[in-house]
Amino acid sequence: MKLGNLSADTLAQLVNVSSDIALVLNQDGVVEDVSVRKTELLALGCQAWIGQSWADTTTSESRAKVEAMIKPPKPGEDVRWRQVNHPSPQGTDVPVQYAVVSLGADGRVLALGRDMEAVSLLQRRLIETQQSIERDYLRLRHVEAKFRTLFETSAEAVMVVDASSYRVLDANANAQMFAKDSSKKLVGRDIYECFEPGAREDMQSLLRMAHATGRVEMCRARFVGAGLDCTVSASVFRQESGPQFLVRLLALDALPAGRSGAHPQNLFAEALEQSPDGFVLTDRSGRIQSANAEFLSMLGATALSQLYGQPLENWLLRGGVDWGVLLTNLRSQAMVKEFATELRQMAGSPMAVEISALALAGDETSYAFYVRDVVRRRAQETPAATGMAGSVAELSHLVGRMPMKDIVGETIDMIEKMCIQSALELTGNNRASAAEMLGLSRQSLYVKLRRFGMVSEIDPASLN
């Protein structure tokens, strides 16, 4: 390329455009002049390099590169770009790519530099990303190893089933034991072929319901070749390939024989399940873990999966108020008897019940609730049993002595006082809970307490 004779200004402009930083060096490698185009490089203090050896402005591992570049080139040798690192006052190294060109016979050279900070940043990000991916792969392998260990050592028979083809993708050793013929591997078989023909329709309904609701569903079915039914539970989870079912099998072994014909523990469990009163078991936070058929019937539920994991207070008509009273008494006394409240059925209608509860101490605290329907009992109660007959008789004697308006006012006051007394008894004289239970503001409750002369019956500290 023939450029002709270039003036000094033209050459300076060419150097300024083609590089981010330019250094003029003498034959000993000492910086004679510096030109910086990129403002980010000014943080290196480049103007202070004048009079210093170029090698002294670089890091220790770059000095050999600098000494090699300022040596006279061999005939026919091409100009090479090499990366040199400069230390910065911030403590980080700034990479710059240099190419050295001879300026004449006096040995002076021109070093043209390009800032490589952007490339270095991309390289660091690439390395960090690769390290993060490797950590994720390692974590995934550890999780997979834990899953495989738990899957194979589980006491339950477990199968993983594809939700689109209904083929068994995986099965542990206990699940394989359900197949009496060990040569018939479960993996790869249609899940419906693993059960007796009479149970396949129930299995289809079970898997469809689990897929539609996303909850744990259960049914009873008989495995092919098995002598007894087993309890089958199915839950759905999603993988990259699509939804899959986790199917668990629990054998219903024959009850051990005894003098009474059955084991007492099994009889006890059966009696609790078929009890005429509702029974529900919750964890320490009040989430339902188990319930018998009568409690499901009270709420109008068809399966335990509709209630499992939900807070019991969601099914109490007064919600947090009743649950707060129950929980406070369970924590202080470990037992509650005949707590009157109302359940909210799934249809939305209320149902009057009495709840007795017990705190169960174990590895983790659990609560057992016994629920009794009192609607029919209240309907059968005679007026005398309610304690209202005498009051009505007393009010009837006032007819003719007082205007009807005053008699009605007396009746309202009597009922209000009875309601407030009952609420305070149920809440243990907790006026905030009593006000919420009665649907009153706290201030309105205070007014009525003073009006009925009941303030002295309350702990003065509770009125603050």
Same domain, 373 and 302: yes
The gap between the terminal CA atoms of the chain, to the nearest Å, is 97
Q: Which DSSP category does 335 fall into? A: E
Looking at the domain assignment, is residue 431 inside a domain? yes
pTM of the model: 0.37
Looking at the domain assignment, is residue 282 inside a domain? yes
Same domain, 278 and 328: yes
Query: In the structure, what pLDDT confidence band is assigned to residue 461 with cuts at 50, 70 and 90?
Result: very low
360, pLDDT greater than 70: yes
Residues 56-86: pLDDT tens digits? 889 888 888 888 888 877 776 777 888 888 8
Question: What pLDDT was estimated at residue 252?
Answer: 65
Quick one: three-class SS letters along 198-228?
HHHHHHHHHHHHHHHHCCCEEEEECECCCCC
Of the candidate ranges 151-165, 184-198, 369-383, the one whose mean pLDDT is the lowest:
369-383
Q: Which of 162, 175, 229, 184 is nearest to 202 (CA)?
A: 229
For residue 16, give every residue at least 6 positions away whose Cβ sits within 8 Å of its Cβ, in sequence order, or none.
22, 35, 37
Same domain, 224 and 313: no
Looking at the domain assignment, is residue 313 inside a domain? yes
389, pLDDT greater than 50: no
Share of the chain above pLDDT 70, in %: 84
Looking at the domain assignment, is residue 120 inside a domain? no
The CA-atom distances, in angstroms, between 365 and each of 282, 284, 330, 339, 425 are: 9, 5, 11, 21, 27
CA atoms within 13 A of residue 189's CA, in its CB half-sphere = 16
Same domain, 90 and 161: no
Question: What pLDDT was estimated at residue 255?
Answer: 39
Same domain, 173 and 237: yes
In this prediction, residues 41-65 reach a mean pLDDT of 86
Residue 137 · residue 122 · CB < 8 Å: no
Looking at the domain assignment, is residue 74 inside a domain? yes
User: What is the extent of the structural domain holding 458?
Assistant: 388-463
Same domain, 349 and 299: yes
Question: What pLDDT was estimated at residue 130?
Answer: 92
In this prediction, residues 391-417 reach a mean pLDDT of 70
Of the candidate ranges 95-104, 330-339, 381-390, the one whose mean pLDDT is the lowest:
381-390
Rounded CA gap, 233 and 235, in Å? 7
Rounded CA gap, 452 and 415, in Å? 11
Question: What pLDDT was estimated at residue 266?
Answer: 64
Question: What pLDDT was estimated at residue 260?
Answer: 42
Same domain, 284 and 339: yes
Cβ burial, residue 314 (10 Å; 0-12/13-18/19+): middle
370, pLDDT greater than 90: yes
The CA-atom distances, in angstroms, between 31 and each of 23, 41, 65, 116 are: 7, 16, 16, 21
Cβ burial, residue 63 (10 Å; 0-12/13-18/19+): middle
Looking at the domain assignment, is residue 266 inside a domain? no
Rounded CA gap, 420 and 438, in Å? 8
Same domain, 158 and 247: yes
In this prediction, residues 263-283 reach a mean pLDDT of 80
Question: What pLDDT was estimated at residue 7?
Answer: 63
For residue 254, give every residue at least 6 positions away whose Cβ sits within 8 Å of its Cβ, in sequence order, or none.
228
Q: CA geometry: angle at 342 spanning 336 and 345, to 5°?
A: 125
In this prediction, residues 407-421 reach a mean pLDDT of 82
Looking at the domain assignment, is residue 261 inside a domain? no
29, pLDDT greater than 70: yes
Looking at the domain assignment, is residue 203 inside a domain? yes
Cα-flanking dihedrals φ and ψ of residue 16, to 5°? -65, -35
| Angle of the 431-438 helix axis to the 320-333 helix axis, nearest 10 | 150
Same domain, 95 and 12: yes
CATH of the domain at 76: 3.30.450.20
Of residues 109 and 12, more confidence is placed in: 109
Share of the chain above pLDDT 90, in %: 8
Same domain, 398 and 354: no
Question: What pLDDT was estimated at residue 376?
Answer: 61
In this prediction, residues 42-68 reach a mean pLDDT of 86
Residues 172-210: pLDDT tens digits? 888 887 776 656 788 888 998 888 888 888 888 889 888
Q: What is the mean pLDDT of the chain?
A: 80
What domain count does the chain have?
A: 4
Residues 311-345: pLDDT tens digits? 998 889 888 888 888 888 888 888 888 888 888 88
Same domain, 372 and 394: no
253, pLDDT greater than 60: no
Classify each residue of 16-44 as buried b or exposed e, where b means 16 or more C-beta atoms within 10 Å of its C-beta.
Answer: eeebbbbbbbeeebbbeebbbeeeebeeb
397, pLDDT greater than 60: no
293-297, long-range: CB < 8 A, 24+ apart: 294/371, 295/371
CATH of the domain at 454: 1.10.10
Query: In the structure, what pLDDT confidence band is assigned to residue 168 with cuts at 50, 70 and 90?
Result: very high
Question: What pLDDT was estimated at residue 180?
Answer: 65
Question: What pLDDT was estimated at residue 160?
Answer: 92
User: How crowded is residue 435: how many other Cβ atoms within 10 Å of its Cβ?
Assistant: 21
Of residues 269 and 369, more confidence is placed in: 369
Which amino acid would we find at residue 305? S
Rounded CA gap, 66 and 52, in Å? 13
CA atoms within 13 A of residue 352's CA, in its CB half-sphere = 7
Same domain, 375 and 415: no
Tell me the three state secondary structure of residue 261. Answer: coil
In this prediction, residues 384-413 reach a mean pLDDT of 62
462, pLDDT greater than 50: no
Query: In the structure, what pLDDT confidence band is assigned to residue 369 with cuts at 50, 70 and 90?
Result: very high
